[in-house]
Every structure is written in C-alpha cells, then in structure tokens.
Amino acid sequence: MNKERQAILLLEDGREFHGSSFGYEGETVGEVCFNTGMSGYQEILTDPSYCKQIVTMTAPHIGNYGINKEDIESDRIQVSGFIIKEESDVPSNWRADQPIGNYLKDHKIVGIRNIDTRSVTRHIRDHGAMNGIISSIDLNIESLKEKLSKVPTMVGLDLAQIVSTQSSFHWESNSTSKKYKVAAIDYGIKFNILRLLEESGCDITIFPCKTSAAEILKFNPDGIFLSNGPGDPSAVKYGIEMVKELLGKKPIFGICLGHQILSLALGAKTFKLKFGHRGINHPVQNMKTGQIEITSQNHGFAVDLNSLPRNVISTHINLNDKTSEGIRCTDVDAFSVQYHPESSPGPHDSRYLFEQFIKLMSK
C-alpha cells in the first residue's frame, strides 16, 4: 500500500487539524464553511456559490455513490478546497463514472480527509466563519500562517464577476413548449434553476452579471431572473443599480444572491451571518400560509429584516434563527427567496415558486 501523504488544515485563529491528503496534492486557501447535507456532494462541489470557499462535509462518509456526468451545477468544480472525515473510494452506484478522489485530482482541487469534521464544524459554529489553508506540500505552521494572513475576508468581496459568464448565451434544450422569454442574470447560476425554468415553459437567455438595464430592456423579456452566486451582495454595486432601473418595468424573481441584490435595490441592508446556512434540511415558514418548508440553503449573508422599506414585506422566515428567507414588493412585480427552491440537492417543497414567477409573467 502507498503511504498516505500528510496534510494540514490551519484556521486563521491558529486552530490546527492534521490529516491525510485527499484529491490533488498542493495548497489552497478560502473561507472555511460546513454543509450538513448527507448527500449531494457533487452538486455542492460544482455550485458557483462556493467560489473561494473550503467546504467541510459533516456527513462522515463522502463518495459512496461516486461521481457522474449528470449531477453537476456548472461546468467545473467551484470550491477552493474540500474537507471530509472518510473517503469512499469504491463507489456503489450504477451511474458512477469515477471515485470522488479521482474527480478532485482531475480538477486540481486540494482536499484533506481523516480529520474530525465534527470538531471543525463546532469550532466554526462557536467562533464564526473564518479563512483557512489546506496544504499537503508545506507542513510548517509558521509558513502557513504567513500565507493565510494575506487572504482577504469575504466581507466586501465581489465574486460574482469571477463565476459569471463573459458573454450572453441561449439555454439550449429539447423543450417545445417555451411560452415565456426570460432574461437570467448570471451571478453564479446553477444548472438546475435553468432546467426548472425550462420545464415551466421559459425560453432562457443568460446574461453576464455586468449587463446594463438598457441592454436587458432592449432584449424585452417577459421576466427577469436574478441568480444565486458567491461573495458579499453589497459589493455587487453594478447589479444593485441595474435592478433599481428595472424595478416596475418587468416581473423579477431572485434566488439567494439574487434575493439579496433585489432587497438592496429596494432599499434594505444585508449583513454577514456568523457561520451561514448550508445544507438540505433547513426549516422555513411561509408567512402567508403558515406552512413549513424544508429547504436547501447555501448562503453566508442575510437581509436585515429591520431594514425592509414599507413597500416590501417578509414572506418567509428561517425557523432556526428567524432570519430573512423571502420578500415581496407590494407596488411592483418583484419577489425573491434566500433559499434554493431548485433544491439540487434537497427536498422539493418550494418548487411552487417557479410557478409564481410564471403567473407574474402571464399577467
């Protein structure tokens, strides 16, 4: 047997975790966060909202069903690094094309395994999200501290322009029932959102995040979709200004970062959560119906409910910490949710929101 190569995870407050190299041998930095989902690791790895983040999986075994060509949310792995307890290197699923370790190596993603991921998670919960560095090539703590000190914090970072498409393109599909023309603004859009919009009868064109309002209005869509994405929403000033110009002119639906950008455009404020919401089992209450939805989530910032202007109402609330999960504007056709109704991975409780968008456009 080959001897396992050592690896270190060092957090910016000095906490050390020693384990084994996993995936590509090298070094990587990013904000360390955790995801509580027991499945969906391939979708998590390819979700653009995880740009510049090192993801810790709290489930103990990762890789059980391997990697396939279908369950991806973008054209590449987006995470900066990956932290797991144990790797399943012999996948058991008829759809599997390769083990997860090989997948990470192919995409040159540095990871670490054989560490206590419960301890990492509890540390982040107690002390808040923070930057970290994983290395299997430099095991000198002082050297790693020096490298880590140069990494910027997530607050103030505009990462949407890193993951956004550089030019507009049409979402090609075999669907023949395309009734509604939709302009999707790409701040880091997930493929399953596009799939569900398509299933709802939408003909979708994806635009770069820095597209102007004038260009969108010239395209003349039936509705505008604001996508998910990474980073600090308040730093996406071009997106906020664009949405301000579009309010009242076309129906608008936003998810995750799109929810935050819409809220900021309407006059609300956002703030950094202590350790974020990332998983597929978060309870959210629909304030209109009183029903509870189990939701998929991935965000490190939230909309300040106390800052909502009078023409904006809160539609959904997180039952874990009472933070904002959805808003609706009362005088223009615009609404958004913080969580992920496309639920890839996750439960399908919130798929009705896509139909809500269709109803606004059908008016």
pTM: 0.96
Over residues 343-360, the mean pLDDT reads 94
- Cα dist from 330 to 12, 88, 258, 308, whole Å: 44, 50, 18, 12
Q: Can you identify the CATH homologous superfamily of domain 160-362? A: Class I glutamine amidotransferase (GATase) domain (3.40.50.880)
- Predicted local confidence at residue 2, as pLDDT: 55
Over residues 120-125, the mean pLDDT reads 98
Please report, rounded to a whole number, the percentage of residues in the chain having pLDDT higher than 70. Answer: 99
Over residues 57-85, the mean pLDDT reads 97
The gap from C-alpha 356 to its chain's centroid, in whole angstroms, comes to 22
Over residues 128-147, the mean pLDDT reads 97
Predicted confidence (pLDDT) per residue in 248-287, tens digit = 999 999 999 999 999 999 999 999 999 999 999 999 999 9
318-357 burial, b if ≥16 CB within 10 A, otherwise e? beeeebbbbbbbeebbbbbbbbbbbbbbbeebbeebbeeb
- Predicted local confidence at residue 177, as pLDDT: 75
Classify 161 as helix, strand or coil. Answer: helix
Over residues 71-89, the mean pLDDT reads 96
Per-residue pLDDT at 190 exceeds 50 = yes
Strand pairing of 252-255 and 270-286?
A: unpaired
**Distance, CA of 192 to CA of 232 (rounded, Å):** 23
- Predicted local confidence at residue 176, as pLDDT: 65
Beta bridge partners of residue 309, listed in sequence order: none
**Distance, CA of 203 to CA of 179 (rounded, Å):** 7
- Predicted local confidence at residue 175, as pLDDT: 64
What is the pLDDT of the chain when averaged over all its residues? 96
Over residues 147-159, the mean pLDDT reads 97
329 catalytic residue (yes or no): no
- Predicted local confidence at residue 1, as pLDDT: 40
Per-residue pLDDT at 108 exceeds 90 = yes
Q: Work out the angle at residue 97's Cα, subtended by the Cα atoms of residues 92 and 98, and round it to the nearest 5 degrees.
A: 75
- Residue 225 makes CB contacts below 8 A (sequence gap 6+) with 182, 183, 184, 185, 193, 197, 204, 252, 253, 254, 255, 258, 357
340 catalytic residue (yes or no): yes
Per-residue pLDDT at 302 exceeds 50 = yes
Domain topology for 6-148 = Glucose Oxidase; domain 1 (3.50.30)
- Predicted local confidence at residue 4, as pLDDT: 86
**Distance, CA of 65 to CA of 40 (rounded, Å):** 10
43 catalytic residue (yes or no): no
Cβ-based neighbour number of residue 75 at 10 Å: 9
Per annotation, catalytic residue among 256, 259, 299, 329: 256
- Predicted local confidence at residue 178, as pLDDT: 82
Classify 41 as helix, strand or coil. Answer: helix
- Predicted local confidence at residue 167, as pLDDT: 97
User: For the chain, what are the domain ranges?
Assistant: 6-148, 160-362
**Distance, CA of 165 to CA of 26 (rounded, Å):** 28
Per-residue pLDDT at 109 exceeds 80 = yes
pLDDT band at 363 (very low <50, low <70, confident <90, very high): confident
275-307 burial, b if ≥16 CB within 10 A, otherwise e? bbbbbbebebbbeeeeeebbbbbbbbbbbeeeb
